[in-house]
Amino acid sequence: MKKKDILTIFKTLSETIERAETELIYETDFQLMVSVILSAQATDISVNKATKNLYDFCKTPQDFIDLGEEELKNYIKSIGLYQNKARFIIEAANDIKNRFNNKIPDNFDELTSISGVGRKTANVLLNILYDKPVIAVDTHVFRVSNRVGLSKGLSPKEVELDLAKITPKKYILEAHHLLILHGRYVCKARKPKCSECSISSLCEKNNI
């Protein structure tokens, strides 16, 4: 895809998407980490619903440690893979408390050394908490990038690396939010709303 078309895509999305930011609801940095861990194979809506009451009193790693894995499961059992995620969250809470002095690390290697934190989660945290110019690739970003023609990557990492190379610097901080929200509300997996798409003229698979 030509550079001018890539620029037009991100410029157009930034103009049509009012709030290019996460839809996860949180107050503290660790709550954001928890929500991102929970969001794997789950919608933001379902995560926000599950954490609404939990976050009233669980704000720090110690709060989650005190709550314990079994009780945590009761709050998040509506989320897919909740048993594994509960274990990851408690282990992550202990990591953040004991290894990082209750502060979310600001670098990729340390983040991915934490239980339950993979490449996507690390990049989300780096982008939102530390304004790092990284792109987190979830199912929406992966789908939209391949469908529109921004990447031909066969894995999330390949798409991430492609996007990191081609995304205009002006839009790099909000790029994954733009692609996520476009994929969530317009370029849907099963029935993309091509007639409502602001970048349909540049899409390789328009009206698929």
What does the pLDDT look like over 63-93, one tens digit per residue?
999 999 999 999 999 998 999 999 999 999 9
Which one of 114, 130, 146 terminates a domain?
Answer: 130
- Is the CB of residue 64 less than 8 Å from the CB of residue 58? yes
Compute how many other C-beta atoms are within 10 angstroms of the C-beta atom of residue 103.
12
Cβ–Cβ under 8 Å, residues 134 and 165: no
- The residue out of 130, 164, 194 marking a domain boundary is 130
Question: Domain residues for 41?
Answer: 29-130
pTM over cut 0.85: yes
Claim to verify: residue 50 and residue 112 sit in the same structural domain: yes
Among residues 29, 85, 95, 138, the one annotated as catalytic is 138
- Identify whether 138 is a catalytic site residue: yes
Residue 125 lies inside a defined structural domain of this protein: yes
Which of the residues 120, 131, 132, 162 is marked catalytic? 120
* Alpha-carbon 155 to chain mean position: 16
Question: Is there a domain that residue 168 lies in?
Answer: yes
Structure token pair of residue 93 = 């809470």
Separation of CA 113 from chain center: 18
Catalytic residue status for 109: no
User: Do the domain assignments include residue 105?
Assistant: yes
Do residues 45 and 105 share a domain? Answer: yes
In a domain, 86, yes or no: yes
Distance set, CA 103 to CA 30, 63, 117, 176, 199 (Å):
8, 14, 15, 24, 40
**Mean per-residue pLDDT for 133-144?**
95
Total number of domains in the chain: 2
Q: What is the rounded average pLDDT of the residues 94-110?
A: 96
Whats the size of the chain, residue-wise?
A: 208
- What CATH number should be reported for the domain holding residue 96? 1.10.340.30
Contact in structure between 61 and 94 (CB atoms under 8 Å): yes
Domain containing residue 162: CATH number: 1.10.1670.10
Distance from C-alpha of 152 to C-alpha of 203, rounded to nearest angstrom: 13
Per the rule left: phi > 0, alpha: psi between -120 and 50, beta: everything else, 44 is alpha
Per-residue pLDDT tens for 2-40? 999 999 999 999 999 989 999 999 999 999 999 999 998
